[in-house]
């Protein structure tokens, strides 16, 4: 941790969060908010942005303070930091986009118990430099956002025949309503994971 990390090292940290160690598809972390708010692409993106904000903010702060926080109280301190960022994100969303905030409801606040964020602080940010922590958080956050978007977009396309509110198939499309209901969340994520697993197996076998 003495020499500044090379750009390729940083890039590797960044990219790992998007695919190889994607927090949702591989780590199966942060599921609660995922399934609840991905009934449309817009909601998914809003949630992903809020989570990215919290992840970046907390990782940077935890990394900056990593020599100062005694390890006995580190988890509590991390939680205080994360909760602060989440509350700020919640208030910002309520002030800026009240309609989206109403849709997401309590799930924004539930970002604070998203094991992804606490996990990154404990596993990475508390042991790495500021820049690396930032890059890791960015990668993980974007990977999370990618997963949320896949889920939200597919559920919205199948369940409402639209994407971002824009109708895709015209008025005669019979929406597959179950997809925007709770069961659809489970099933869609399950199916996406099957595809993900299949891709992994093929790569492994090749």
Residues within the interface to another protein (CB under 8 A): 1-2, 28, 31-36, 67-70, 72-73, 76-77, 79-81, 83-84, 86-88, 90-92, 94-96, 98, 105-106, 109-110, 112-113, 115, 118, 159-160, 175, 177-178, 180-187, 189-191, 193-194, 197-198, 201
- DSSP code for 3: S
The DSSP annotation for 5-18 comes to: PPHHHHHHHHHHTT
**164 vs 198 by CB, closer to another protein:** 198
Q: Which distant-in-sequence residues (6+ apart) come within 8 Å of 83 by Cβ?
A: 112
**13 vs 90 by CB, closer to another protein:** 90
Question: Is residue 167 within a helix (H) or strand (E), and if so which, with residue range?
Answer: strand 166-167
Rounded to an integer, what distance in angstroms lies between the CA atom of residue 163 and that of residue 127?
Answer: 41
CB of 167 to another protein, least distance (A): 14
CB of 18 to another protein, least distance (A): 19
CB of 195 to another protein, least distance (A): 8
Q: Which two tokens stand for residue 134?
A: 């930032």
Cβ atoms of 151 and 44 closer than 8 Å:
yes
**11 vs 183 by CB, closer to another protein:** 183
CB of 62 to another protein, least distance (A): 11
**49 vs 109 by CB, closer to another protein:** 109
Cβ atoms of 178 and 184 closer than 8 Å:
yes
């Amino acid at each position: 941790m003495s020499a500044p990390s090379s750009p390729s090292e940083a890039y590797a940290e960044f990219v790992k969060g998007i695919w190889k160690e994607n927090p949702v598809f591989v780590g199966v972390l942060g599921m609660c908010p995922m399934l609840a708010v991905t009934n449309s692409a817009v909601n998914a993106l809003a949630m992903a942005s809020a989570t990215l904000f919290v992840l970046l903010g907390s990782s940077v702060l935890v990394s900056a303070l990593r020599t100062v926080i005694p390890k006995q109280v580190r988890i509590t301190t991390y939680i205080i930091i994360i909760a602060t960022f989440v509350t700020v994100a919640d208030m910002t969303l309520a002030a800026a986009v009240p309609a989206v905030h109403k849709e997401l409801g309590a799930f924004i606040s539930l970002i604070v118990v998203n094991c992804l964020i606490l996990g990154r602080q404990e596993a990475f940010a508390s042991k790495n430099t500021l820049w690396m922590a930032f890059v890791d958080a960015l990668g993980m956050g974007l990977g999370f956002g990618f997963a949320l978007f896949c889920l939200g977009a597919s559920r919205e396309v199948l369940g409402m025949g639209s994407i971002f509110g824009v109708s895709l198939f015209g008025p005669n499309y019979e929406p597959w309503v179950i997809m925007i209901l709770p069961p659809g969340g489970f099933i869609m994520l399950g199916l996406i994971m099957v595809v993900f697993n299949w891709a992994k197996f093929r790569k492994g076998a090749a």
